[in-house]
């Protein structure tokens, strides 16, 4: 079997590494990949946003399945494009990817479907955001609505920190269009658990649980990142909790 992994980050490196270990996989391609991935895959000079080029490559090399890692091409509808071209592809379609691509959409989705989540407000106006901050106080969670490479969230424990975050997002355009609006969210205290699952229609197959650590510096200090590391299993949660 031939596999094409789209992307060039740590996530895609791990996917390519695991595919290369499978006895059912004969060839792994990565587009664009990175220098480290060259040890486990043939890296192709195609950007993850080049849908037409990637589709043409998958057809030409008779790739059996394409796996999309990054959020950006998923939001741009790369899975839809591959499906329309008659190719087998793993990843959410554009409509489903919006849950990751817009925090306000995800929050409204959870509210509509009675999925427990913290209270929140959404605004694109700095003064309105400040009024909500004055009303709700700190700690508070401030999020750029769109994709910001994992760096768009501030857990503010002081008013000064919250104001600086709002100013950076709404006034200084720190995240561009991704920060056109912000989500101000209730601060929830407790242990974090990441539990993902493979989903197809009504079939749900859970993966192992993990705990992600996003702070840039030792001791859980500093700004959030896309992730400094994670571990699994998570001893703070029993299998009963996870089930």
Tokens read off for 51: 């849908």
**Mean pLDDT, the chain, integer:** 95
Q: For residue 113, is pLDDT > 90?
A: yes
Q: For residue 9, is pLDDT > 90?
A: yes
CA–CA dist 240, 237 (Å, integer): 8
**Residue-level pLDDT at 227:** 83
Q: For residue 221, is pLDDT > 90?
A: no
Using CA atoms, how far residue 228 sits from 197, 215, 218, in Å, is: 22, 7, 10
CA–CA dist 242, 232 (Å, integer): 13
CA triple 111-116-121, angle to 5 deg: 50
Delineate the domains of the chain, giving CATH numbers in brackets: 2-98 (3.40.50.20), 102-186 (3.30.1490.20), 197-242 (no CATH)
Tokens read off for 126: 């700095």
Ramachandran angles phi, psi of 7, nearest 5°: 130, 170
| pTM (whole model) above 0.85 | yes
CA–CA dist 196, 91 (Å, integer): 13
Do 141 and 165 contact (CB within 8 A), yes or no?
Answer: no
Tens digits of per-residue pLDDT, 130-180? 999 999 999 999 999 999 988 899 999 999 999 999 999 999 999 999 999
Helix (H, G, I), strand (E, B) or coil at 49: coil
> What angle do helix axes 159-166 and 126-136 make, rounded to 10 degrees?
160
**Residue-level pLDDT at 202:** 92
**Residue-level pLDDT at 217:** 92
Could you tell me which residues are beta bridge partners of residue 2? 27
Tens digits of per-residue pLDDT, 12-52? 999 999 999 999 999 999 999 999 999 999 999 999 999 99
What is the mean predicted confidence (pLDDT) over 222-235?
87
Q: What percent of the chain has pLDDT over 90?
A: 86
**Residue-level pLDDT at 86:** 98
Tens digits of per-residue pLDDT, 121-130? 999 999 999 9
């Amino acid at each position: 079997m031939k596999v094409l992994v789209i992307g060039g980050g740590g996530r895609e490196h791990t996917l390519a590494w695991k595919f290369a270990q499978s006895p059912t996989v004969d060839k792994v391609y990565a587009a664009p990949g990175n220098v480290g991935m060259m040890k486990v895959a043939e890296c192709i000079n195609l950007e993850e946003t080049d849908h037409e080029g990637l589709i043409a490559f998958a057809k030409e090399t008779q790739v059996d399945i394409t796996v999309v890692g990054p959020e950006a091409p998923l939001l741009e509808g790369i899975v839809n494009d591959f499906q329309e071209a008659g190719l087998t592809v793993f990843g959410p379609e554009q409509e489903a990817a919006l849950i990751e691509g817009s925090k306000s959409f995800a929050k409204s989705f959870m509210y509509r479907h009675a999925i427990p989540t913290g209270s929140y407000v959404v605004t694109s106006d700095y003064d309105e955001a400040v009024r909500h901050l004055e009303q709700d106080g700190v700690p508070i969670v401030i999020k750029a609505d769109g994709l910001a490479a994992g760096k768009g969230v501030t857990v503010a424990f002081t008013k000064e920190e919250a104001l600086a975050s709002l100013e950076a997002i709404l006034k200084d355009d720190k995240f561009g269009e991704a920060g056109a609006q912000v989500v101000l969210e209730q601060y929830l205290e407790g242990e974090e658990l990441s539990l993902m699952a493979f989903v197809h229609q009504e079939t749900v197959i859970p993966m192992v649980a993990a705990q992600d650590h996003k702070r840039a510096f030792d001791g859980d200090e500093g700004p959030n990142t896309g992730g400094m590391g994670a571990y699994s299993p998570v001893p703070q949660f029993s299998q009963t909790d996870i089930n």
